[in-house]
Chains A and B, each alone.
Chain A
Amino acid sequence: MPAGSMIVLERVSHVFDGRSGLVPALDGIDLEVGEREFVAVIGRSGCGKSTLLRIVAGLLAPTEGRVLVGGEPVSRPRRDVSVMFQRPGLLPWRSVLANVLLPAEVLGLDRRRHTARAHELLELAGLRGFADRLPHELSGGMQQRVSLCRSLIQNPAVMLMDEPFSALDALTRTELSVELQRIWLEHARTIVFVTHSVEEAVVLADRVVVLTPRPGRLRKIVDVGIPRPRTIHAPEVAAVSGVLHELLEVAV
Chain B
Amino acid sequence: MSRAPKRRARRVATVVLPVLGLLAVIALWWLATVFFSIEEFLLPGPADVLAAFGEYPVYLLEHTWVTLVETVQGFGLSIVVGVPIALLIVSSTILERMIYPLLLALNAVPKIAVAPILVVWMGFGPAPKILLVFLVCFFPVVISTASGLKSTPAELVELMRSLDCTRRQEFVKLRFHHALPQIFVGLKVAISLAVIGAVIAEFVGASAGLGYVIVASGASADTALAFAAMGLLGLMSIVLFYGLVYLEHRLLPWAG
Knowing A83-B162, A93-B254, the reply to whether A106 touches B155 (Cβ < 8 A) is: no
Q: How many A-B residue pairs have CB under 8 A?
A: 54
Which of A79, A82, A93 has the most C-beta atoms of chain B within 10 angstroms of its own C-beta?
A: A93
Chain A residues within an 8 Å CB radius of B165 = 106
**Does B39 have its Cβ within 8 Å of any Cβ on chain A?**
no
Chain A residues within an 8 Å CB radius of B160 = 106
Docked-complex contact B252 and A85, CB < 8 angstroms: no
Chain B residues within an 8 Å CB radius of A93 = 177, 180, 252, 254-255
Chain B residues within an 8 Å CB radius of A102 = 163, 173
Complex Cα gap A82–B159 (Å): 9
Distance in Å: Cβ of A116 to nearest Cβ of chain B = 20
Which one, B164, B180, B254, contacts A134 given CB within 8 A? B254
Docked-complex contact B254 and A136, CB < 8 angstroms: yes
Knowing A87-B155, A89-B156, the reply to whether A77 touches B161 (Cβ < 8 A) is: yes
Chain B residues within an 8 Å CB radius of A135 = 254
Closest to B251 in A: A93
Docked-complex contact B253 and A134, CB < 8 angstroms: yes
**Does B151 have its Cβ within 8 Å of any Cβ on chain A?**
no
Chain B residues within an 8 Å CB radius of A225 = none
0/1 string, A83-105, CB within 8 A of B gives 1: 10101010111000000001101
Chain B residues within an 8 Å CB radius of A136 = 254, 256
Chain B residues within an 8 Å CB radius of A103 = 163
Docked-complex contact B162 and A82, CB < 8 angstroms: yes
**Does B207 have its Cβ within 8 Å of any Cβ on chain A?**
no
Complex Cα gap A103–B159 (Å): 10
Which A residues, 126 to 148, have Cβ-Cβ distances below 8 Å to chain B? Answer: 134-136
Distance in Å: Cβ of A155 to nearest Cβ of chain B = 14
Complex Cα gap A143–B178 (Å): 18
What are 15 A-to-B residue pairs whose CB atoms are below 8 Å?
A: A57-B162, A58-B162, A77-B162, A87-B155, A89-B155, A89-B159, A91-B156, A92-B254, A92-B255, A93-B254, A102-B163, A103-B163, A106-B163, A106-B173, A136-B256
- What residues make up the interface of A, taking CB atoms closer than 8 Å to B? 57-59, 76-79, 81-83, 85, 87, 89, 91-93, 102-103, 105-107, 134-136
**Other A-B pairs beyond A89-B159, A106-B164, 11, CB < 8 Å:** A77-B163, A77-B164, A79-B164, A81-B162, A83-B162, A85-B155, A85-B158, A89-B156, A93-B177, A103-B163, A134-B253
